[in-house]
Amino acid sequence: MRDNLKRLLLLLVLPLLTFAAPDVSPAPTKKRILHLTFNQGYANELHKVAKEMGYSVTTWHIPSLTSKFLDGTSAGTALFNMTHERAERIWDRHRDLFESFDLICVSDTTPLARIFLQNHCSKPLLIWICSPVDYYDPQTLDGSFPDHEYFSLLSAAPRTPNVFVVGASAFALHYAERLGLDLGDTIIPPCAFNTSVRFVRKKESLYIPSGHNETVFMNLKEHLQGLGLPVYSGPHQGPQDLGGYMGIVHLPDSYGSPALFEHLAYGIVYFIPSPAFFEKLATTHNYFLNQPATLLEEQLYEASEWYKSSRENVFVYFDSWEDLVEKAKNLDYKAQKAKVLSYVSDYQKEVKSRWQALFNQVFAGAAQ
């Protein structure tokens, strides 16, 4: 096996070299982009950045589409399973519309790219890899997937002139490599382009998410209340509402998501287990972690959005429950929010420059 640490350094450094000093001028003509995704967070991300740069974006948020719209027969989670037959039906049904756009982008679940790779779409295709490339729903599987043809198409994608492959994280590309797929080194992470932030403390409580680890693995709300911390767990009205709490206590179950960046863009304070305490929790019965091998076995914490060394001042890490109590009670919340927002401001500028450089590359090639 290749040296994982060396590979990870390439994943982290090469994108910065690739996108150095891009032209950030508006697009000279209004190019039209079609974006297919299952995730509203990624839909919002691409829409905001492309609109700011002068492009027009049409989004197909697949869960919001009319039932059976895509292929005429399938609905719900069956659409995660992009078999040869389903990709062919979708292409045949929407071919003329697809070909009318200047760029097609797929995000969240990479198998959506099969619609265009399999059918030799002539338009530029951007594959934004945000989750495991072999993602599917076994409960609704109605054919062979993931299959050899799919992996062959994806393997050839980086060498196809009109196809551009970008990872949303180092982990996304590292996972693909573990499957034998070399999809390049380019990374453009989500960052949530929020510009209106107010320091308003509405609730003197810590917010507890309703994920598996905070409810099934353990009753985190009850546990922290027993330790004397003021906490709340329940419905909320989005990141601006969450920004009114003291902070969020979260037990990571994945390597990051658009929601994380949406929350950071509002200056939300996150309390996260330190790597050592995380490992203690994650190796306890019933803790859920998507693809645990990378963190627990390979120790590639830099591949996680929660544990990058560049964010050591963005999150408040705790080494034990007692440590959490002490830090939650004594933290300067206003100063911590300011640290988060300062980081996000620089981070957004960097991500925007990467997007602009990529769009310049895509449309320059399309014009030739």
Which candidate, 135, 155, 132, places its Cα nearest to that of 146? 135
CA angle 329, 347, 325 (to 5 degrees): 10
* Same domain, residue pair 258 and 144: no
Q: In this structure, is residue 62 part of a structural domain?
A: yes
Map residue 318 onto helix, strand or coil: strand
Q: In this structure, is residue 201 part of a structural domain?
A: no
Map residue 50 onto helix, strand or coil: helix
Q: In this structure, is residue 323 part of a structural domain?
A: yes
Positive or negative CA dihedral for 86, 67, 262, 297? negative
* Same domain, residue pair 273 and 327: yes
* Same domain, residue pair 45 and 176: yes
Q: Which residue has the tokens 């756009």?
A: 101
* Same domain, residue pair 155 and 238: no
* Same domain, residue pair 32 and 130: yes
Here the tokens at position 331 are: 């933290």
Terminal C-alpha separation, the chain: 40
The pLDDT of residue 200 is 45
* Same domain, residue pair 84 and 225: no
* Same domain, residue pair 177 and 217: no
Q: In this structure, is residue 342 part of a structural domain?
A: no
* Same domain, residue pair 168 and 105: yes
Q: In this structure, is residue 193 part of a structural domain?
A: no
CA distance 200 to 240: 10
Q: In this structure, is residue 197 part of a structural domain?
A: no
pLDDT tens digit at each of 368 positions of the chain? 444 544 444 444 444 333 333 444 444 568 999 999 999 989 999 999 999 899 999 999 999 999 999 999 999 999 999 999 999 999 999 999 999 999 999 999 999 999 999 999 999 999 999 989 999 999 999 989 999 999 999 999 999 999 999 999 888 999 999 999 999 999 999 886 654 554 445 568 999 999 999 999 999 999 999 999 999 998 888 888 888 899 999 999 988 777 888 899 889 999 999 999 999 999 988 999 887 667 788 888 888 899 999 999 999 999 999 999 999 999 999 999 999 999 999 999 999 999 999 999 999 866 65
* Same domain, residue pair 178 and 39: yes
343 within 8 A of 186, measured Cβ to Cβ: no
Q: What are phi and psi of 102, to 5 degrees?
A: -85, -25
* Same domain, residue pair 144 and 243: no
Q: In this structure, is residue 45 part of a structural domain?
A: yes
- For position 234, which CATH number holds? 3.40.50
What is the CB-side half-sphere exposure of residue 320 using CA atoms within 13 A?
4
Q: In this structure, is residue 200 part of a structural domain?
A: no
The pLDDT of residue 24 is 43
The pLDDT of residue 366 is 62
For every residue of 72-93, DSSP letters joined together read: SS--GGGGG---HHHHHHHHHH
Alpha helices, DSSP H, located in the chain: 4-18, 40-52, 84-98, 114-117, 148-156, 170-178, 212-215, 220-226, 239-242, 258-264, 275-282, 293-296, 321-330, 333-367
* Same domain, residue pair 64 and 176: yes
Expressed as residue numbers, the domain containing 323 is 206-331
Give the count of domains, the chain.
2
181 within 8 A of 133, measured Cβ to Cβ: yes
- For position 172, which CATH number holds? 3.40.50.2300
* Same domain, residue pair 89 and 145: yes
